[in-house]
Amino acid sequence: MKRRKRICSIIMILLFSLAFICGGFFHAGFFDVFAEKDPAYELLLNQLGFPESYYEKLTELHQEHPNWAFLPYQTGLSWDEALDGESGYRINLTPNTVNYPTSFHATDPVDGNITFDFDQNAFVIMSAPNWVQASREAIAYYMDPRNFLNSEEIFQFEYLASNPMVQTLDGVEKILSGGFMAHTYVVKPTLLIQEGFVTGIEPDTKKEDFLKLIACEPGKTIRIWNADHSAKEDGARICTGDLVTVSDGELLWDAEELPEDYVEPAHATYTCLIYGDTNGDGQHTKLDYLYFKRHFLNYYPLEEPYLFAADTDRDGDIDHMDRLYVKRAAYGYYPLTQRRVNDTEQKSTKAFALYGADGQTYAECIVTLAEEYGISPYMLAVRLRQEQGTEGKSALISGKYEGFEGYYNYFNFGASGVTDTEIIENGLTYAKENGWDSPVNAIRGGAERIVQKYIAAGQFTLYLQKFNVIKNGAYALYRHQYMQNLLAARNEAVRTAKAYTELGCMDNGYIFYIPVFENMPETPAPKPEIDGNPNAYLQMLSIEEIETIEPTTEYPETEETIGGSSEDTTSEVESEPETEPEPTLPRLEPEFDRSIFRYDVYVDENVRSITFDAKAIANVIENAASGGRGKKEASVEGAGKKELSYGENVFTIRVTAGNGTTFDYEVHVFREEPETSEETSPENVGETEEDN
């Protein structure tokens, strides 16, 4: 039995290898069959090369999605080595917002560069508007594949090859839904198909030219008819009232005699509409103005669709403005606009949708490019949404940025820098250098770069594009990573899973290449959860007051007062009143510095108490650049009035930051010992002249 299991495991490994060489796909039912033959799934995982710490979650996923295939990606790197590499300066960034605890962000210097400015009480911005250096703990969490072995986040390990059986146009639209690219043209069409009408047709357009502008779904038949259902001849003009049909089979409207077994196929019909062509001849002539005038004066009312053609300003009323437009066009003064382009036009969602062939939606553009380059259209759609968000208001895709008019950068290539201006201008410089002078060219250029620079270089999963842990690869380790956003691979995976769920194809056969590192910790890296301001430094520490002992020594009268008259004494007191001088405050040695934690203070014997004042930086500076983390959060204990004993007195002033970090500042106060006279000193007690 054991031998048979071992043979099955070896066969499985060979099949995995063969699948990878041949493009990485299995028959959907393969793993169900194998599971029946070998229920010892953990044995398979072991034979494939997964560490034991992967078994539990992968087994659960296998039970939930038996058609999914899991392959280890052996990095050949030790865990600590890879973590050190990915923790370098500005390699991984996190957004400094209230959505993420401050433990996501680094505070210690990285490669000699500060990551938190303690004097200004703010994280150092690495990229506008709020991206800061990721902490080593956060990097460890997002690098550890074992943290993402669930039905959503696992898609960061999905093999990014094209799979037309799963990745559809509808699926791409679902990924783009709710955003500015959903059901929206990236290339504005000449024609617009809406509510059963085809508009945007210029006067004097011939049938063959019209056919070049339209297309329909594959497998459908498209034909052009006159208004009376007779076939439109080649060379004839397209007129208001002409019909366009899209059918499952051949329509025989023009047949003299129908076959006995003929069944009219399902079809959709669209009516051609040329604004200003009120008589249906496909031109703008004085006859059109005559027809309009008759209708306007209630002599001969126009019927649909000629009535709609008379509404030249598309406001729903036939009025004097329409009369002016028709007259100008009829007499050749001004051409009548047939196409009004705006950013909200959508394609028809009817079963037999007719499309302008020269128009293309974002989704269609993505699918076309994915097929051309052999990559996942879902990856492209998710990446575009990740880079441009749902509103699409970035200057990188406006085409209107001063100095870079007409250039676009949809994938944000080369868009690096600290300030917004640097990011935008660097990105648009990259676009200009690569000739991305239209949205389509920018999307095409970005997709081509992803294929050539990343997937072809072995970075064929979202994870590997985020973390370049490819040993002996085309690029240096931990460099050539698509994005600095530490969370990018995980976020894109969740969007992909959401699209698969909505499409009902989560149980299809997917392949996941899951990284494995050498000497990994036994348990997955924990997610950082500690929040709060990390600043535990003092902004100031000073001595505010001392309290002294009143002198007890009686001083003898001076010669000036002996024998003097009371009158003279009174006169002297009145002219020179006695004042007690202010005590000089002792000082800290060395001078205060937030990074020095030990100070000495020396006081005279008559100083019996000392008062310290201490303030934390976090309680003094509320810096907006800290992302709302600079509020008064630190607590200071140990300051205030302190009684002194003779000799050394040690006081601790403790600062506790909002995130729990503590710093102790020690102050050693040395009070001078009182002097002892010879008569009362222990050495002289009981001595006599004889002893001396």
What CATH number did the domain enclosing 348 receive? Answer: 1.10.1330.10
Write out 613-661 in H/E/C secondary structure. EEEEHHHCCCCHHHCCCCCCCCEEECCEEEECCCEEEEEEEEEECCCCC
Vertex 408 angle, CA 494 and 184, to 5° = 60
pLDDT of residue 338: 86
pLDDT of residue 509: 85
- Mean pLDDT, to the nearest integer, of 294-319? 93
Q: How many residues does the chain have?
A: 692
How confident is residue 625, by pLDDT bands cut at 50, 70 and 90?
low
Amino acid making up residue 386 = Q
pLDDT of residue 561: 39
Residue 240 lies in a domain: yes
Instruction: Please give the Cα distance from 422 to 414 (Å, whole number).
Output: 10
Residue 195 lies in a domain: yes
Output the CA–CA distances (angstroms, integers) from residue 224 to 147, 220, 246, 254, 308, in the order listed: 59, 14, 9, 11, 20
CB atoms near residue 158 (< 10 Å): 25
Write out 200-224 in H/E/C secondary structure. CCCCCCEHHHHHHCEEECCCCEEEE
pLDDT of residue 219: 81
Residues 209 and 344 in one domain: yes
Residues 537 and 624 in one domain: yes
Residues 120 and 212 in one domain: no
Tokens of 62: 């296998």
Kind of pairing between the strands at 662-671 and 598-603? parallel
Residues 352 and 228 in one domain: yes
Residues 196 and 283 in one domain: yes
| Percent over 90 (pLDDT), the chain | 63
- How many domains in the chain? 2
Residue 330 lies in a domain: yes
- Mean pLDDT, to the nearest integer, of 448-465? 92
Pick the more confident residue, 1 or 277: 277
Instruction: Please give the Cα distance from 621 to 122 (Å, whole number).
Output: 9
For 459, residues 6+ apart whose C-beta sits below 8 A from its C-beta are: 465, 468, 470, 473, 480, 482
Kind of pairing between the strands at 511-518 and 69-78? parallel
Residues 227 and 122 in one domain: no
Kind of pairing between the strands at 122-123 and 116-117? antiparallel
Residue 559 lies in a domain: no
Please write the tens of the pLDDT for every residue from 271-295.
999 999 999 999 999 999 999 999 9
Residue 689 has pLDDT above 80, yes or no: no
Residue 534: alpha-carbon gap to chain centroid: 24
CATH number at residue 119: 2.60.40
**Residue 452 DSSP one-character state:** I
Residue 208 has pLDDT above 70, yes or no: yes
Specify the range with the lowest mean pLDDT, choosing from 45-59, 183-197, 260-274.
Answer: 183-197
Output the CA–CA distances (angstroms, integers) from residue 523 to 53, 364, 519, 562, in the order listed: 7, 44, 11, 92
**The residue to which tokens 């051949």 are assigned:** 250
pLDDT of residue 670: 97
Residues 620 and 536 in one domain: yes
Specify the range with the lowest mean pLDDT, choosing from 341-355, 427-441, 610-624.
Answer: 341-355
Instruction: Please give the Cα distance from 92 to 81 (Å, whole number).
Output: 16
DSSP 51-95: -GGGHHHHHHHHHH-TT-EEEEEEEEEEHHHHHHHHTSTTTSEEE
Residues 126 and 194 in one domain: no
Taking the alpha carbons at both ends of the chain, their separation in whole angstroms is 108
pLDDT of residue 164: 75
Residue 248 lies in a domain: yes
pLDDT of residue 38: 40
The residue segments making up the domain with residue 640 are: 99-132+532-552+580-675
Tokens of 468: 């370049």
How confident is residue 217, by pLDDT bands cut at 50, 70 and 90?
confident
pLDDT of residue 346: 56
Residues 123 and 272 in one domain: no
pLDDT of residue 354: 78
The runs of H, that is alpha helices, within 65-183 are: 79-86, 136-143, 169-176
Name the domain boundary from 301, 328, 356. Answer: 356
Residues 123 and 267 in one domain: no
pLDDT of residue 222: 93
Name the domain boundary from 313, 333, 356. Answer: 356
pLDDT of residue 572: 47
What are phi and psi for residue 660, nearest 5 degrees?
95, -10
For the chain, give percent helix, strand, coil, nearest 5: 30, 20, 50
Closest CA relative to residue 601, chosen from 675, 674, 666, 673: 666
Amino acid making up residue 269 = T
Residue 30 has pLDDT above 70, yes or no: no
pLDDT of residue 194: 81
Closest CA relative to residue 243, chosen from 329, 354, 345: 354
With contact defined as beta carbons under 8 Å apart, do 617 and 118 qualify? yes
What are phi and psi for residue 203, nearest 5 degrees?
-60, 150
Specify the range with the lowest mean pLDDT, choosing from 5-14, 117-126, 501-510.
Answer: 5-14
How confident is residue 31, by pLDDT bands cut at 50, 70 and 90?
very low
Query: What is the chain's mean pLDDT, rounded?
Result: 86
Name the domain boundary from 333, 356, 379. Answer: 356
pLDDT of residue 292: 96
Instruction: Please give the Cα distance from 658 to 102 (Å, whole number).
Output: 10
Query: String of b and e for 348-382 (b: at least 16 CB within 10 Å)?
Result: beeebbbbbeebbbbbbbbbbbbeebebbbbbbbb
Specify the range with the lowest mean pLDDT, choosing from 8-17, 332-341, 599-608, 626-635.
Answer: 8-17
pLDDT of residue 349: 57
Residues 128 and 207 in one domain: no
DSSP SS3 for 38: coil
pLDDT of residue 654: 98
Residue 681 has pLDDT above 80, yes or no: no
Residue 373 lies in a domain: no
Residue 368 lies in a domain: no
Residue 27 has pLDDT above 60, yes or no: no
Residues 335 and 202 in one domain: yes
Specify the range with the lowest mean pLDDT, choosing from 159-168, 426-435, 479-488.
Answer: 159-168
Residue 74: alpha-carbon gap to chain centroid: 28
Instruction: Please give the Cα distance from 290 to 296 (Å, whole number).
Output: 10
DSSP 561-625: TTT--HHHHHHHHHHS---PPPPPPP--BS---TT--EEEEEE-TTEEEEEEEEEEGGGT---GG
What is the torsion angle, in degrees rounded to the nearest 10, for the CA atoms of residue 205, residue 209, residue 211 and residue 213? -90
Residue 6 has pLDDT above 60, yes or no: no
Instruction: Please give the Cα distance from 146 to 365 (Å, whole number).
Output: 35
Residue 243 lies in a domain: yes
